[in-house]
Structure 1
């Protein structure tokens, strides 16, 4: 089974590169950490990146879709002296399966990013738009 993930955009991301210029963000997505997929780097839009990319991710046959998790890291194309991780999100595959089956079509979800420490970001909207189908 494959999961098609559309990585759309980010909104109001933290600029981890503020000393050297705008952030150049890209997304890394995986279910199985030995097989990670990434978008292109958005070089122009800074803290509001646009990717509009579809990635087809194989759900490992050893994974139970009801307990497996989709992981997403938003990362800065590293500049020396900059911490590259902007934030992370995760989504249980069961949420995707349940919503996609109920609607019978692709679903779109806004995910809030967590800090590298795992704490939620502040109350401002630091979101990541995602769409997925199976």
Structure 2
């Protein structure tokens, strides 16, 4: 198992790794918030946070020599399900024709009062 870490994505805000790469070439990316990695502040709204989450995921994927086409499963945690359409449109644009398995849940609260968190499983 190998710990994946990049300064181009937000540092972990707790006792966990940005991602773990297994010997079987599975990449498990911890839940990413809409944090700007330079300031560690959340972006202003659901649209910007969703875009930032996906940018942060991209940076971790790159660090592990993966691409978004390697993603096989995502889990989306949403602070308010009324934002689902905005999130879904940005998500669809990001993935294009690639459609990994996905779960989406509304939760009562996210770390740092984030509006969205996405975790990823990828495989080469």
Bigger radius of gyration: 1
TM-score interval, normalised by the smaller of the two chains: 0.3 to 0.5
TM-score with structure 1 setting the length = 0.31
| Structure having the larger proportion of residues in helix | 2
TM-score with structure 2 setting the length = 0.33
